[in-house]
Structure 1
Amino acid sequence: MKKFEEKTIKTKNIYDGKVIKLQVDDVTLPNGKTSKRELIKHPGAVAIIAITKDNKIVFVEQYRKPLEKSIVEIPAGKLEKGESPEVTAVRELEEETGYTTRNLEFVTSFYTSPGFADEHMYIYKTSQLEQLENPLEGDDDEFVEILELTLDQAKQYVEEQRIHDAKTNYAVLYLEMLGRK
């Protein structure tokens, strides 16, 4: 057994939804005792740091039901089955912002909430945006407003907690660090 590994004894599937699956696993702990783990299975997601020709960052504002408020975020969305992160990035950029790009730069990836979910988030950056003549329609249940902010404005939004999610905070910090080099 690997260091700290927990061996799954039994899995009970609780819910299989459009975005997530919920399961409860019975596990054997490294010390031989047993415990339960409530797990969210997620197909993964992509987010895009999109920079306009006039050096503004493209954001979307949308209502987030779990938070019961709207927040400002970089464009993002979940991976569809069989879709590569790069394809998802371009699709989500087009659907949410009306921009497209032919040049994506991989920045990083990370697990969003490893204590209970397996969601793996990929972050890309592009500064070669092209406005679509015929923007794609977004999801029927998704309502967004596009914002283009300077880095200083985005940092102010972080202070005001209008930007209040990990991926977007990461994007602002990343751009801040790039500016210091």
Structure 2
Amino acid sequence: MKSFEEKTLSTEQIFTGKVVSLQVDEVELPNGKTSKREIIKHPGAVAVIALTGDNKIIMVEQYRKALEKNIVEIPAGKLEKGEKPEICAARELEEETGYACSSMEWLMSFYTSPGFADELIHLYIAKGLYKKENPASADEDEFVSLMEITVEEALELMEKQSIHDAKTVLAIQYLQLQEAMVGK
């Protein structure tokens, strides 16, 4: 495989926030010329496909300011510094849904927008769900409502663009593929 590595010549830190930071790198291209790259740095995140005993998916609906609309998503959240993804997945499941699980399995990890960001999401599937008596509360600036839906209902919500984010679309398509494989 041919290498198209870009050598970093300099980095200018533009912004450092609570969730992301922005830097501009000057790079040397494989042909010797230089260019600039605007890069969002993110600590990484987890997302959880939470399945009930009757194969319904626990989803959260929340307002996303960047989109200026509500969307329906699988539970997810940002990794805290030094936090293991499987610990974060259990924490986010509990905080966003009030559920815990007897089984949490890693499925895959994927970059969300590699053209300009280094965010890596670790996707898990949670089974054996049970309601926590005193669940950890959600972040104080997070407002969500819960839904339990089937894969078919999720596909309808994708068509209506109520489910409209990559991690949730990937999760639904994963479940759809699993159903198809079981049906064979």
- Report deviation, 1:41: 0.2
State how far apart, in whole Å, the 2-side matches of 1:154 and 1:127 are.
Answer: 18
TM-score by length of 1: 0.98
State how far apart, in whole Å, the 1-side matches of 2:19 and 2:103 are.
Answer: 28
Aligned residue in 1 for 2:8:
8
Identity %: 62
Moved more, 3-12 or 98-107: 98-107
Aligned residue in 1 for 2:33:
33
Q: Which runs of 5+ in 1 are unaligned?
A: none
Contact 2:102 2:127 in 1 (8 A): no
Question: Which amino acid counterpart does residue 40 of structure 1 have in structure 2?
Answer: I
Q: Pairwise mapping of residues 70-109 of structure 1 onto structure 2 (< 5 A)?
A: 70-109=70-109
Q: Pairwise CA RMSD of aligned residues?
A: 0.8
State how far apart, in whole Å, the 1-side matches of 2:58 and 2:137 are.
Answer: 18
Does residue 167 of structure 1 match 2:167?
Answer: yes
Aligned residue in 2 for 1:147:
147
Runs of 4 or more, structure 1, over 6 Å off, are none
TM-score by length of 2: 0.96
Q: 1:94-150: per-residue Cα shift (whole Å, max 9, x none)?
A: 000000113111111100000000000110001211110012111111100011101
Q: Secondary structure at the match of 1:96?
A: helix
State how far apart, in whole Å, the 2-side matches of 1:176 and 1:78 are.
Answer: 26
Q: 1:19-73: per-residue Cα shift (whole Å, max 9, x none)?
A: 0010000000000000000000000000000001122100000000010000000
Q: Which runs of 5+ in 2 are unaligned?
A: none
